[in-house]
Structure formats: structure tokens, C-alpha cells
Structure 1
């Protein structure tokens, strides 16, 4: 069993309230869950307006497949115009 996990630091420019931030983050999380079938949640900075940290993971029987899924999710987040990916870290176990 291969477990791929990733932590993604996001900047939400132009967001001026926690309500607006939560709406954007919740939308991204729901879209990723339905499209890629990964477990995902906001794992840090819940009380900051313009910053968020998402964590997600997948389980596979092949390292290449786990890497592929993680790459696709990161690309999906980067292509979302509402957030900017500051940094991310990937771990394959």
C-alpha cells in the first residue's frame, strides 16, 4: 500500500473576510473531492483571511499513480484563479 500526502500553502489575494475565504476554500475542497477522490481538508491558518493550508492524501498500489494524482490536484489548484500556490510539500509513504 502506497500513501501519498501533500500540504499546500495558499494565498487568497483580494479576500477581506473569513466568510469569503471559507466560501472559496470550501468550493475548492468540494471540487477536488468529487473530481480526484482524495481526502482533503484545511489543516492550518483557519483564522487568517488571506492565507490557507490544505492537506490531502491518496492511497494507491503504485508510487507512480500516487505521484500522478498528487500532481493533478496541485495543477488543478494552481489553475484556479481565486488562489495562488505559495508552496507545497509531498510525501510518499
Structure 2
């Protein structure tokens, strides 16, 4: 069993309240869940309205497939959000 994980750090400078942030995060999570078979959630900085940290995990039979799925999700998020990506941590266990 191979587990692929990623933590994506986003910065949304136009967000001015936690309510706005929640709308952005829910939209990203819903789109990714609909398109890919991964677990995804906001994992850090939940009290800071311009900082978004999203965690992603997938389980696979091969390292190559896990890396491909995680990279596809990261690319999808990059292409479908106005937030700036500050950092991406990808790990395969």
C-alpha cells in the first residue's frame, strides 16, 4: 500500500473575512472531490483569513500512480484558483 500526500499553502490577498475564506476553501474542496478520488481538507491556519493550507491524500498500489494523482490534483488547484501558491510539500509513504 502506497500513500501519496501533499500539503498546499495558498495565499488569498483579496479575502477579508473568515466567511470569504470558507467559501473559497469549500469551493476548492468540492471541485477536487468531484473530479478526483482523494481525501482533501483544510489542515492549518484556519483562523487566518488570507492563509489557506490544504492537505491531500490518496492510497494506491504503486508509487508512480500515487505521485501522478497528487500532481494532477496540485495542477488542477493551481489552474482553478486565484490564490497564490506559496509552497507545496509532496510526500509518498
CA distance in 2, matches of 1:55, 1:74: 11
Q: TM-score, normalised by structure 1?
A: 0.96
For 1:91, what is the secondary structure of its paired residue? strand
2:9–2:87 contact (8 Å) kept in structure 1: yes
| 1:1-12 superposed matches below 5 A | 1-12=1-12
2:27 counterpart of 1:27: yes
Root-mean-square deviation (CA, aligned residues, Å) is: 0.8
CA distance in 2, matches of 1:83, 1:62: 31
Question: Map of 1:1-93 to 2, 5 A cutoff?
Answer: 1-93=1-93
Unaligned runs of 5+ in 2: none
Shift of 1:82: 2.3
Q: Which runs of 5+ in 1 are unaligned?
A: none
Runs of 4+ residues deviating >6 angstroms:
none
C-alpha separation in 2, matches of 1:92 and 1:69:
11
* Superposed displacement of residue 13, structure 1: 2.0
